[in-house]
Structure formats: C-alpha cells, structure tokens
C-alpha cells in the first residue's frame, strides 16, 4: 500500500511535463514563422527591384539597338578560339561598355535602391539567335545581393527585327 | 488496547489531503504557465499575420503601379512634378484604379502610400565609327569609338527634349502593432519605365 503514496504528484508532474513539451513545440513553430517573414520581405524587395532594373536594361536596348548588336557580335567573335587575327582589339570591350562599368545605372549605382538595403546588383545581356527566322530572344539577367540573400532574375524578350522599306 | 485492522488501512492506503493539495498546486501553476506560453505564441502568430498581410498589400499595390502606363502616371498623377508623395486612390472609377491611403484588412488598419520620383538616366556606349570598309557581316571591319555617355540621355536636359523616361516608385505600408503601440513599416522599390515610345 505504501507504494501508492506520492502517485498523484508523479502523475501531475508527468502531465505538466507533457504540457510543457507541447507548449514549447508550439512556440518553436511560431518562432520559425517569425523568422521566415523578414526573409519573404527581402525576396519581395529584391524581385521588385530586379524587375525595375530589367526594364531599364530594355530601355537601353531600345534606345541603342544597333550599338547593342554590334557590341554583342564583336563579343562573340572576340571570345572564339583561336581568335580571329584580323579582329581589332578594343579595351575595355564594347559589350563591357554597353552593360556599363561598376557604379553605373545597370551595375550597382549607389542610392538607386534607397531605402531598400541592397548591397549590390549587376546586369547581363544574352542573345539566343535564330538566324533562320531572323528572330532574337534577348535574356536580361539581374543579380541582386542583399544581406544573407542573393538571387538572379531572368526575363526573356522577343526581339524580332524588321526592315522598313523606304516608300518611293 | 486493540486497534482494528480497518483503522490501520485507512491511514496507509490512498492519497493524503496534503498530497492532493500539492498535486493540485503544481497542476494550477503549470496550467497557468502553459496558457501564458500559448497566449504568447498566439500573439506572435497574430503579429506575423499582420506582417504577411502588409507584404501582400505591398506586392499588390506595386504590381498595380507597374502595370500602369508610364505616360498615364507621368501626365495624370505627376503632371510636371519631379517628385511627389501619393496617399489617396488613383484613377478612381476606372479599370486602372489603385487604392492607396487607409486600408483595413482584418482588424488592422494599414496606411499605404507611394513616393514617385522622375530620375535622370543616361546610358553610355562605344558608338560604331562607320567607314567605307564597314560590313555588318564582317566583325573585323567594326571600329568602335570612345565611350560616349550622351547618346541616350533621359534626364530632362536640352529644354526637356531629353525627357524623363524613368519613374522610381517607392511603395510603403505602415501599421501600428496593438498592445505595444509600435509603428511598423515595410517598403519596396521598383521603376516604371517608358517603353512605349
């Protein structure tokens, strides 16, 4: 009979322990959500900023299409191995000047992202050409770096070319 | 003196009143602690929910802004100004309506506003110097000149001929956290670019 003495306390302590574990696991799940929210905000901020920079890159392409195609064609030829001996050397490369130096509007211009804490961003152009149809797909890739977070955003534009014949 | 066996058993078997009272006290203390913990967690969940709603509002309003025509924003909203703050509904009654200002979602009141700023942009390029040897198909004939930053300028210069074509949109959502009465705000930045002309 002495064995039954103190059983109530043991049962209550076990029950309390179970409730404590339950409560702590609930608190843990809540704190995980709290941690993911600021990360989600960073993702949203980086994506909207990248979308804006992609539009700026399109504006540059639309304003200077001939310069873009010449610089890009030169880049392709310049990167071939063995290099074409007749190809003149330009330094910095025309395509490098087209995308801009560090600190310019497409390449991490300071204050452009204020008040969003973006550490740096870069922009690249790529062309997927289909000569048969005289049709280009232009990829614009914006890489955004924030604290503890970096992401690349790609958009593809259909850049078909057409020749407007002069009227007689 | 004889003590009956029943009396002895009543002292030894079962739980004493003191034991039950101690157990009850432990149960009450632990129940209060756990309820406090759950209440704290619930407040945290509600706080997160308010943040999620704020982020959704931020995304929705900025998406609406970016899908609006540059000229519509430039002419009808900014009308000559280079920087302004907007905190009221735009394009009211049209399909392009963007509701800003005070918006109530759930139990929380959010203040949504946008700062619009026309920003000067100029792009640099090494222009091609075309001479008689030039052929598009022959890259060897390309001659690039020095870097020129004035070929594509959209900064309002030249008596407005180089007109602005980029508007920086800073969207802001503010709300007040109940109980602690702390104001919170989130922001996002994007650019509305004139690609129509």
Specify if A30 maps to a domain. Answer: no
Same domain, B79 and B170: yes
Same domain, B88 and B42: yes
Q: What is the pLDDT, as a whole number, of residue B11?
A: 54
Specify if B6 maps to a domain. Answer: no
Report the alpha-carbon distance of residue B88 to residue B68 in Å, rounded.
16
Specify if B10 maps to a domain. Answer: no
Supply φ then ψ for residue B166, to 5 degrees. Answer: -135, 130
Same domain, B77 and B141: no
**Which of A4, A11, A12, A103 has the most B C-beta neighbours within 10 Å, making it the best mutation to test the interface with B?**
A12
**Length, in residues, of chain B:** 197
Is the CB of B55 inside 8 Å of chain A's CB atoms? yes
Q: How confident is the model at residue A71 (pLDDT cuts 50, 70, 90)?
A: very high
For chain B, what is the domain count?
2
Identify all chain A residues contacting B125, using CB atoms and an 8 Å cutoff.
64, 67, 71, 94, 97-98
Q: Considering CB atoms only, which of A16, A33, A113 is closest to B27?
A: A16
Residue B135 Cα, gap to closest chain A Cα (Å): 11
Q: What is the pLDDT, as a whole number, of residue A98?
A: 94
B103-147 confidence digits (pLDDT tens): 998 889 999 999 999 999 999 999 988 888 888 888 899 999 999
Give me the interface pTM, i.e. the ipTM.
0.85
A2-28 confidence digits (pLDDT tens): 556 678 888 888 888 888 888 888 878
Specify if A160 maps to a domain. Answer: yes
User: Is the pLDDT at A36 greater than 60, yes or no?
Assistant: yes
Output B39 or A145, whichever has higher pLDDT.
A145
Token duo for residue B3: 């003590």
Same domain, B67 and B130: no
Across chain B, mean pLDDT equals 88
Specify if A108 maps to a domain. Answer: yes
What count of other Cβ atoms lies within 10 Å of the Cβ of residue A25?
A: 10
**3-class DSSP state for residue B196?**
coil
Same domain, B73 and B162: yes
Same domain, B90 and B135: no
Specify if B8 maps to a domain. Answer: no
Sign of the CA dihedral running B57, B63, B69, B71: positive
Same domain, B127 and B35: no
Q: Considering CB atoms only, which of A19, A33, A98 is closest to B34?
A: A19
Across chain A, mean pLDDT equals 87
Same domain, B25 and B82: yes
Specify if B21 maps to a domain. Answer: yes
Specify if A98 maps to a domain. Answer: yes
**B141: containing domain:** 122-153
Specify if B9 maps to a domain. Answer: no
**A128: containing domain:** 47-168
Specify if A2 maps to a domain. Answer: no
Specify if A7 maps to a domain. Answer: no
Specify if B4 maps to a domain. Answer: no
Same domain, B129 and B149: yes
Specify if A15 maps to a domain. Answer: no
Is there a contact between A90 and B126 (Cβ–Cβ < 8 Å)? yes
User: What global pTM score does this model have?
Assistant: 0.85
Same domain, B78 and B139: no
Task: Give the DSSP letter of residue B128.
Answer: B
Helical (H) or strand (E) element with A156 = strand A149-158
Residue A29 Cα, gap to closest chain B Cα (Å): 9
Supply φ then ψ for residue B161, to 5 degrees. Answer: -70, -40
Identify all chain B residues contacting A12, using CB atoms and an 8 Å cutoff.
23-24, 26-27, 30
Same domain, B97 and B109: yes
Same domain, B69 and B138: no
For chain A, what is the domain count?
1
């Amino acid at each position: 009979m002495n064995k039954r003495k103190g059983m109530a306390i043991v049962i209550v302590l076990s029950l309390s322990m179970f409730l404590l574990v339950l409560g702590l696991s609930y608190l843990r799940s809540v704190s995980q959500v709290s941690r993911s929210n600021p990360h989600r905000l960073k993702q949203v901020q980086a994506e909207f900023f990248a979308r804006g920079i992609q539009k700026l890159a399109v504006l540059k392409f639309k304003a200077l299409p001939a310069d873009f195609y010449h610089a890009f064609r030169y880049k392709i030829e310049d990167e071939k191995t063995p290099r074409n001996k007749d190809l003149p050397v330009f330094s910095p490369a025309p395509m490098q000047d087209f995308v801009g130096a560090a600190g310019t509007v497409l390449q991490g211009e300071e204050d452009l992202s204020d008040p969003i804490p973006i550490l740096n961003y870069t922009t690249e152009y790529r062309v997927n050409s289909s000569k048969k149809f005289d049709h280009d797909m232009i990829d614009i890739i914006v890489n955004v770096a924030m604290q503890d977070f970096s992401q690349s955003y790609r958009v593809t534009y259909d850049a078909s070319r057409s020749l407007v014949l002069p009227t007689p | 003196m004889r003590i009956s066996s029943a009396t002895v058993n009543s002292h030894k078997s079962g739980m004493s009143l003191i034991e039950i009272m101690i157990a009850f006290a432990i149960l009450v203390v632990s129940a209060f602690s756990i309820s406090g913990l759950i209440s704290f967690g619930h407040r945290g969940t509600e706080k997160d929910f308010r943040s999620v709603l704020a982020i959704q509002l931020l995304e929705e309003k900025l998406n609406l802004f970016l899908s609006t025509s540059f000229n519509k924003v430039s002419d009808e909203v900014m009308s000559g100004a280079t920087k302004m703050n907007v905190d009221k509904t735009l394009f009211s009654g049209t399909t392009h309506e963007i509701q800003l200002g005070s918006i109530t979602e759930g139990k929380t009141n959010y203040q949504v506003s946008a700062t619009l700023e026309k920003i000067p942009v100029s792009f640099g390029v090494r222009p091609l110097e075309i001479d008689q040897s030039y052929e598009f198909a022959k890259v060897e004939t390309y001659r690039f000149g020095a870097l020129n930053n004035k070929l594509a300028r959209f900064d309002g210069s030249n008596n407005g001929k180089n007109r602005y074509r980029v508007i920086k949109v800073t969207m802001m959502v503010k709300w007040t956290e109940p109980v602690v009465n702390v104001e919170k705000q989130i922001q996002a930045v994007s650019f509305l670019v004139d690609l129509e002309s």
